[in-house]
Amino acid sequence: MSRKLFGTDGVRGTANIAPMTAETALKLGMAAGRYFTRGEHRHVVVIGKDTRLSGYMLEPALTAGFISVGMDVVLLGPLPTPAVAMLTRSLRADLGVMISASHNPFEDNGIKLFGPDGFKLSDEAEREIEDSLDALDGMLVPSHQLGRARRLDDAVGRYIEYCKNTFPRGLRLDGLKVVVDCANGAAYKTAPQVLWELGAEVVKVGVEPDGTNINRQCGSQYTETLRSQVVAHGADLGIALDGDADRLILCDEQGMVVDGDQIMALIGRSLHRAGLLRGGGVAATVMSNLGLERFLAGEGIALYRANVGDRYVLELMRRQGINFGGEQSGHMILADHSTTGDGLVAALQALAALVEAGRPASQVLRLFQPVPQVLKNLRLSSPAQAAEVLADPAVGQAIAAAERRLDGKGRLLVRKSGTEPLIRVMVEGDDSALINAAADDLISLCATLAGVGA
């Protein structure tokens, strides 16, 4: 049975429109709270959020749902997603919740759930919780068993210390000027403070959230701001996080963007050379560039590919015993430190490599020449429409024809986004003209089948 409410990264949608409503949040709190109420101890859930206006609606609704089924609630306030995962374990809570739509605009919001081990829930657990939303009768506890809510005042400080402890002992960032763009999101307090305490001169960008400016012309999805600030300030490195700080994009001193594939190459090689890379290789997704695969092979490192989504990368890592993986989009999972993607922790590993190399970022962060890759999106009215278009036999025939044209000299991927009503087309290969034509043809066909403009 497929899930209808949960997607690849929790529940997500436009705020105050089903399913992202206070009513859904209330019911989800009840259902998830009951699912994790096991044993006779006092049960606890921690709740964090990013800086979206709708967080003020969803946080109390979730809180009420958890309290009504007897769970105590610890409110963390605005804090990165990986901080919620970390504090769920640190506080020995039964459940962790992050209210965020990650890199999406402020109109959207989402709810991500973490188990007591700090890992995102499995598809099976999410399915069971979703199924119980229609059977909430009898879940309410007697009035004397209601939970309580309190705020954890030092949540920010705890996460700052955790991040600093992932940076190699004996190294400092003295003498480095770093621009950090926090996307007006969840890391607007933590990221600049961590960098400053490690010795860097910090130029802060995107640290004035107002509820509606999260990810707006800033952060990892809009790197123009970061690039211009790095050049203007003569900085050594630029760091861009997204709204919930679980993904990372870098920028060298020349203002050139460094994507997740290059970051994976850097960290993967560093871990391998230090004898710290486990599981035989690096975990990535089907979207990672063929150039990354070729580079890692040259270093004696295998590249394993999962479906798109950091949860699927992590599932692959856990199956294979791999301790490092990520996505081209900037999710980086360092399993020796985190149970989910952590943009700031990954940035610290890149900074450590920069300090140890003693050379400019432009010479340290670019380890391979990417194979030409084309990414195109087609926005439709709903995820259901995207799925319907991709199920059309004509799409399958067009994909097969494009693969024959590539003749084994490239890769092709057509998929439905797990977080937005998009059809995504990726084509890569050594022939730029060929891959562009293949991508255009596929997008045009999907647009025609959907009755929209490409």
Q: Give the Cβ contact number of residue 401 at 10 Å.
A: 12
Catalytic-residue membership of 122: no
**Residues whose CB is less than 8 angstroms from the CB of residue 110 and which lie 6 or more positions away in sequence, other chains included:** 9, 10, 11, 12, 13, 20, 99, 100, 101, 102, 104, 419
How far, in Å, are 9, 280, 288, 403, 425 from residue 305 at the CA level?
A: 18, 13, 8, 19, 17
How far, in Å, are 28, 156, 171, 187 from residue 153 at the CA level?
A: 26, 8, 30, 16
Both tokens assigned to 371: 């194979």
Q: Give the Cβ contact number of residue 154 at 10 Å.
A: 10
Among 68, 100, 102, 270, the one annotated catalytic: 102
Both tokens assigned to 135: 């059977």
Cis peptide bond upstream of 80, omega within 30: no
Q: Give the Cβ contact number of residue 143 at 10 Å.
A: 6
Q: Are strands 149-151 and 72-78 parallel, antiparallel or unpaired?
A: parallel
CA distance between the termini of the chain: 33
**Residues whose CB is less than 8 angstroms from the CB of residue 233 and which lie 6 or more positions away in sequence, other chains included:** 177, 179, 203
Q: Is 216 helix (H, G, I), strand (E, B) or coil?
A: coil
Amino acid at 51: T
On the 0-12 / 13-18 / 19+ scale of CB atoms within 10 A, 317 is buried
Pick the closest to residue 341 from 332, 350, 354 (CA basis): 332
Backbone phi and psi for residue 374, each to the nearest 5 degrees, phi listed first: -115, 130
Annotated catalytic residues are 102
